[in-house]
Amino acid sequence: MPGADPHISGRLLAVGDIHGQAELLAKLLKQVDLQPADVAVFLGDYIDRGPDSPGVIDQLLELQDRFPQTVFLKGNHEAMLLDYLAGRETLLYLLNGGATTLAGYHRDNRIHIPPRHLEFFHSLRLWYETDGFIFVHAGLRPGLSPEQQNHQDLLWIREDFLESDFDWGKTVVFGHTPLKSPAFSEHRIGLDTGAGHGRALTCCEVRNRRCWSVNG
């Protein structure tokens, strides 16, 4: 099959931006029914805006324990949280939905993020590459390989990526830009279907482009 990755014997799955929608994530994972041979790539933005960001991270850590081959990418919202915790760009984070996440971690009049959640945030990857696919949160700057990309672009880029027809020689699977439905073109798959805005959360088997979605 075109773009096949022979070392992955099961499905090659990608999950779009979750944004604190723990209930939607639980429903989606039940539909997809992840198996030991599958590789699932989560595209980042697990937190903020939705009602239960800590609950999302708990589910992802449980998945990591059950399926250690699962890949978790960093989104711009995880980057903003880490900046906030380090005392940088605090207003930017609060203006982008961070207050709901901080409220979820509020205990005894202070913000308490469990050590394993912090370890998870710090461990997130910026991209993941297979024989046929490049997975990234926001996109890639045209003309540059993943290794050459600026971290800011990997997490935040929009128009320069979306409006380019540059071909990286592989299909780029991305989130970050909210869409009404999954977007497919010859060399792109966009999977942020607006869970952070009350719409759907989507998973896609990227090799045959079958999708599962649950609506908010």
Q: What share of the chain is helix, strand, coil (3-state, %, to 5)?
A: 35, 20, 45
- Give residue limits of the domains in the chain: 12-215
Model confidence pLDDT, tens digit, residues 71-87 = 999 999 999 999 999 99
- Residue position matching structure tokens 């394993």: 116
Which residues make Cβ contacts (< 8 Å) with residue 8, sequence separation at least 6? 37, 39, 130
Report the C-alpha gap between 203 and 209 in whole angstroms: 10
Report the C-alpha gap between 8 and 182 in whole angstroms: 23
In CATH, the architecture of 12-215 is 4-Layer Sandwich (3.60)
pLDDT value of residue 8: 86
Report the C-alpha gap between 151 and 111 in whole angstroms: 27
Measure CA of the first residue to CA of the last residue in the chain; give whole Å. Answer: 34
pLDDT value of residue 7: 78
pLDDT in tens, the chain (216 residues): 334 566 788 999 999 999 999 999 999 999 999 999 999 999 999 999 999 999 999 999 999 999 999 999 999 999 999 999 999 989 999 999 999 999 999 988 899 999 999 999 999 999 999 999 999 999 999 999 999 999 999 999 999 999 999 999 999 999 999 999 999 999 999 999 999 999 999 999 999 999 999 998
Report the C-alpha gap between 8 and 130 in whole angstroms: 9
pLDDT value of residue 3: 43
pLDDT value of residue 183: 97
* Cβ-based neighbour number of residue 169 at 10 Å: 8
pLDDT value of residue 6: 60
